[in-house]
Structure 1
Amino acid sequence: MTDDLERTAVMAGPEPSADRPKRPRLLYIDNLRIALTALVVLHHTAVTYGNIPAWYYTEPAKDGSGLLLDVFVMFNQAFFMGFFFMIAGYFTPASYDRKGARPFFRDRLKRLGIPLLAFLLLIRPLTGFGGYADLRDAFAERGKALPYWLYYVLSWDAGPLWFVEVLLVFAVLYALVRRRGARRLLGSAGEPGRETVRAPRPLRPLAVVVFTVALALATYLWRFVVPNDTYVPFLGLPTPSYMPQYASFFVLGVLAYRRGWPQTLSRAAGRVGFAVATAATLAYLPFVATVKTGALDGHGTWQSLVSSAWESTFAVGMVLGLTVFFRERLNRQGTTAGFLSRHAFAVYVIHAPVLVGLGFAFRWLHAPAAAKFALVAALALPLCWAVAYAVRSLPRADRVL
């Protein structure tokens, strides 16, 4: 892969050296990253104006359109971060093969650790200042002072960069497994700097079904102890209840690289993926609309089992469908798409203060939740890429972002 693909959090590593041929660039994965990054921005914009108070700045909906935003968030949450982890897993073996264990770890620490620290130390203070002001005023009414440093320490978390935090852990675990010789599971290309080309192995439908069922059961069992409303303080994990999906999709991405699955998926597999995801959703929506509050969260309820089954089926179906669709229809790039791709990871890192700033800027506007979402989203997407361009123009910033 080229440096444009692998310099981000989900794909990191230098260009192939001149003494071996370059691998063909998968432009459709570039374009997938653009779409998923845009979904992240839209997702957090929807949280801002919906009924899920899980963002730095929120305006809880006062009309029924907020429910539409909540449904949009539910669909996104079911698959898009797992898809990010799968893409990350896909590009991990090649990076390790070229570098070896120690250089691979140093590279991941630089490309993931530096953005994480930059968010914690520079971006997060700006993003969370509005919340601090509100809490400071509440303390003042009680005759107590709340210095910012105390608020910062007590509310410490990685924000959206929890993804980078978890991905760094996955990368370290991958390196440890490779060093301990689990080559039949994750594959090995021999000595660092040399890549072995293997014949693609088509992905069998039965394997997809078995994986989906296993993921649903693992998610259901995991939520006995880590229900949907769980938040991990300090680490800042907003959705630890999805960890079975994140981990398994990362491993699936590693296997997909070794076995060439993305290139062997048939067009029919993509159509079936979309069809199954749609059918499962049509069956699930009436159920979720009538279930009692909290019944889907976990704790071993049968409703939680249904929820886990839908999430797993929807996620696998969407990944199959989108992979084939982008491969067949969007496997090309012009100047604009190339620009969007190069700055996608930077957008992920900096989008939080952009959305918070826009939220405060339009705080005065009284409008239906969906209307404010549409307005802010239309401004946020180009503004995020513009700010990302400015950030990556700083000296040496493009080596990390």
Structure 2
Amino acid sequence: MTAAPATDLASERLHGLDAVRGYALLVGIVYHATMSFLPGRPIWVVEDTHRSLLLSGLFFLSHTFRMTTFFLIAGFFAHMMVEKRGVKGFVKDRAKRILVPLLVGWPIIFAAIIAASVYGAYVMTGHIPKPPPPNPQAPALAFPLTHLWFLYLLLILYGLTLGCRALVLRLDRSGRFRRRADAALASIVESPLAPLALAVPSTLALSFVGPWAKWFGVPTPDNSLLPNIPALVSYFTAFGFGWLLHRQPGLINSWTRRWPLNLALALGFTALCLSMAGVAPLMALEPLGPQRTLFAGVYSLATWTWTFAVVGMALRFLSNHSPVRRYIADSSYWLYLIHLPIVMALQAAVAKLDWPAEVKILLVLGVAFPLMFASYQFLVRRSFVGAILNGRRAPKAAAEAPPQLAPLARETFQ
């Protein structure tokens, strides 16, 4: 198979890839919305009176692939930007769009999360909670990155990748190593066994590094400035794979052809994971041993088959220009930044209603998404904040004629 030039594929496929990146962030909002409804031992500040195995399964499924998919697309677009703007232009752009939102946004959002947590605890107990005592088991360089950990990790991945790039350019002046690497990558991508090859690093990291609550998949690196090894390995694999893939972007056409196969495999591996771990959250730490390695391998295969299936379906069905999808893609970054305190407050507001959990989460999301989209439309889209997050201000005509709410909602929840 001959890889298409990057510029040719970019003109045809970026709508689909941009949609995947945006939807991956929106899936993260749904993921957090399920957390107050999980059965078993509470893991969230808001503990709803009704629990749901269905929402527990949704939690497990969404965490299986959403961040791997996001970091793969992030690596793809990062290489594209380096090719277009050079390293200096790339660093300047990433400092504006990633570092500034992290440094400026974190204190504001963290304060809002604390306020939502206090409100949630008050709803649960009837009184204002006292500050928790210091955690004696806190990790080194403990820091509450909250859900903004993905920005911090992106900065680390940018630095690691640019460092590797500089080293390769220095040592491989003839380009021979890069040509061989491209050939090896092409062989992997074109093979139906590609998910197996990509699952190896995360399988090893999850199998042998530290204690692991296997039901929760890749441990979220949100409580320390030193990312845990499984998260760093898993997401660097995805980011680096996306970076290298952009050197031969035509290779992803194989995912477009194989999306039914990858989807079937993803469903099968996910079902196998749930049969091994159960649908309800399992807090126990899995000891080292063959059972842990087996689950890590199946989980990693589920991660990559889901990623290939999702990207393949997007390239197959979402590659045409759509004003609604473009609007969602543009707004998704802002929505993800601000969503957590809003979702937490709404979870607390419905916590004691005697309604099914599935109805409550629809209410939470049905209020949260319109509020967040409205904030984007009227406060961000044409402001300096939008220029920072999206790299540009939306043109006036676009801002005066936003997509209709009904199709926007349909696109969001599909």
Counterpart-to-counterpart distance in 1, 2:66 and 2:260 = 19
Gaps of 5+ in 1: 1-19, 147-153, 189-197
Task: State yes or no: 1:113 paired with 2:102.
Answer: no
In the TM superposition, residue 137 of structure 1 has moved relative to its aligned partner by 3.5
What is the CA deviation profile of residues 227-271 of structure 1, one whole-angstrom value per residue up to 9, with x for unaligned ones? 658676753789864332211111110111112255431544212
Taking only aligned residues, the RMSD between alpha carbons, in angstroms, comes to 3.6
Give the partner amino acid of 1:158. Answer: L
Q: Which residue of 1 aligns with 2:258?
A: 269
After superposition, the Cα gap between the structure-2 partners of 1:184 and 1:73, relative to the gap in structure 1 and judged at 3 Å, is farther
Q: Give 1:360-399 correspondences, 5 Å limit.
A: 360-393=348-381, 395-399=383-387
After TM superposition, the score normalised by the length of structure 2 is 0.74
- Picking from 232, 254, 257, the partner of 2:243 is 254
In the TM superposition, residue 132 of structure 1 has moved relative to its aligned partner by 4.3
Counterpart-to-counterpart distance in 1, 2:331 and 2:281 = 42
Please say if residues 209 and 229 of structure 2, whose CA atoms lie closer than 8 Å, have aligned partners that are also in contact: no
Task: State yes or no: 1:243 paired with 2:210.
Answer: no
In the TM superposition, residue 323 of structure 1 has moved relative to its aligned partner by 1.6
Counterpart-to-counterpart distance in 1, 2:142 and 2:42 = 15
What is the CA deviation profile of residues 38-61 of structure 1, one whole-angstrom value per residue up to 9, with x for unaligned ones? 211110100132247555x42245
In the TM superposition, residue 89 of structure 1 has moved relative to its aligned partner by 0.5
After superposition, the Cα gap between the structure-2 partners of 1:330 and 1:273, relative to the gap in structure 1 and judged at 3 Å, is same
Give the partner amino acid of 1:87. Answer: I
What is the CA deviation profile of residues 2-44 of structure 1, one whole-angstrom value per residue up to 9, with x for unaligned ones? xxxxxxxxxxxxxxxxxx9995151111221232122111101
After superposition, the Cα gap between the structure-2 partners of 1:48 and 1:391, relative to the gap in structure 1 and judged at 3 Å, is farther
Counterpart-to-counterpart distance in 2, 1:284 and 1:206 = 21
Q: Quick one: higher RCO (CA 8 Å, sep 6+), 1 or 2?
A: 2
Q: Secondary structure at the match of 2:168?
A: coil
Q: Which residue of 2 aligns with 1:37?
A: 25
Q: Give 1:81-160 correspondences, 5 Å limit.
A: 81-132=67-118, 134=121, 137-139=128-130, 156-160=143-147
Q: Which residue of 1 aligns with 2:180?
A: none
Q: Which residue of 1 aligns with 2:331?
A: 343
What is the CA deviation profile of residues 326-371 of structure 1, one whole-angstrom value per residue up to 9, with x for unaligned ones? 1111212332222212111111111112212322433452322222
Q: Give 1:305-324 correspondences, 5 Å limit.
A: 305-324=293-312
Counterpart-to-counterpart distance in 1, 2:66 and 2:363 = 23
Give the partner amino acid of 1:102. Answer: K
Q: Which residue of 2 aligns with 1:165?
A: 152
Give the partner amino acid of 1:139. Answer: K
Q: Secondary structure at the match of 2:130?
A: helix
Please say if residues 61 and 368 of structure 1, whose CA atoms lie closer than 8 Å, have aligned partners that are also in contact: no
In the TM superposition, residue 322 of structure 1 has moved relative to its aligned partner by 1.5
What is the CA deviation profile of residues 61-120 of structure 1, one whole-angstrom value per residue up to 9, with x for unaligned ones? 544x2x222221111111111110000000111222233333322321221111112331
Q: Give 1:266-305 correspondences, 5 Å limit.
A: 267-289=256-278, 293=282, 297-305=285-293
In the TM superposition, residue 226 of structure 1 has moved relative to its aligned partner by 6.0
Give the partner amino acid of 1:45. Answer: A
Q: Point out the more displaced range, 277-286 or 206-215.
A: 206-215
Counterpart-to-counterpart distance in 2, 1:244 and 1:155 = 20
Counterpart-to-counterpart distance in 1, 2:20 and 2:220 = 29
Counterpart-to-counterpart distance in 1, 2:335 and 2:73 = 17
Give the partner amino acid of 2:80. Answer: A
Q: Percent identity?
A: 20
Gaps of 5+ in 2: 1-6, 134-140, 176-182, 390-414
Counterpart-to-counterpart distance in 2, 1:294 and 1:364 = 25
Give the partner amino acid of 1:316. Answer: W
After TM superposition, the score normalised by the length of structure 1 is 0.76
Q: Secondary structure at the match of 1:343?
A: helix
- Picking from 44, 60, 68, the partner of 2:54 is 68
Q: Point out the more displaced range, 102-111 or 34-43.
A: 102-111
Please say if residues 21 and 69 of structure 2, whose CA atoms lie closer than 8 Å, have aligned partners that are also in contact: no
Q: Which residue of 2 aligns with 1:175?
A: 162
After superposition, the Cα gap between the structure-2 partners of 1:358 and 1:206, relative to the gap in structure 1 and judged at 3 Å, is closer
Q: Point out the more displaced range, 332-341 or 208-217.
A: 208-217
Counterpart-to-counterpart distance in 2, 1:208 and 1:22 = 21
Q: Secondary structure at the match of 2:354?
A: coil
After superposition, the Cα gap between the structure-2 partners of 1:209 and 1:97, relative to the gap in structure 1 and judged at 3 Å, is closer
After superposition, the Cα gap between the structure-2 partners of 1:224 and 1:298, relative to the gap in structure 1 and judged at 3 Å, is farther
Counterpart-to-counterpart distance in 2, 1:239 and 1:181 = 26
Counterpart-to-counterpart distance in 2, 1:312 and 1:213 = 5
After superposition, the Cα gap between the structure-2 partners of 1:122 and 1:264, relative to the gap in structure 1 and judged at 3 Å, is same
In the TM superposition, residue 207 of structure 1 has moved relative to its aligned partner by 5.5
In the TM superposition, residue 292 of structure 1 has moved relative to its aligned partner by 11
Please say if residues 88 and 253 of structure 1, whose CA atoms lie closer than 8 Å, have aligned partners that are also in contact: yes
Please say if residues 262 and 306 of structure 2, whose CA atoms lie closer than 8 Å, have aligned partners that are also in contact: yes
Q: Point out the more displaced range, 369-378 or 357-366.
A: 357-366
After superposition, the Cα gap between the structure-2 partners of 1:303 and 1:61, relative to the gap in structure 1 and judged at 3 Å, is farther
Q: Which residue of 1 aligns with 2:15?
A: 27
Counterpart-to-counterpart distance in 1, 2:75 and 2:268 = 28
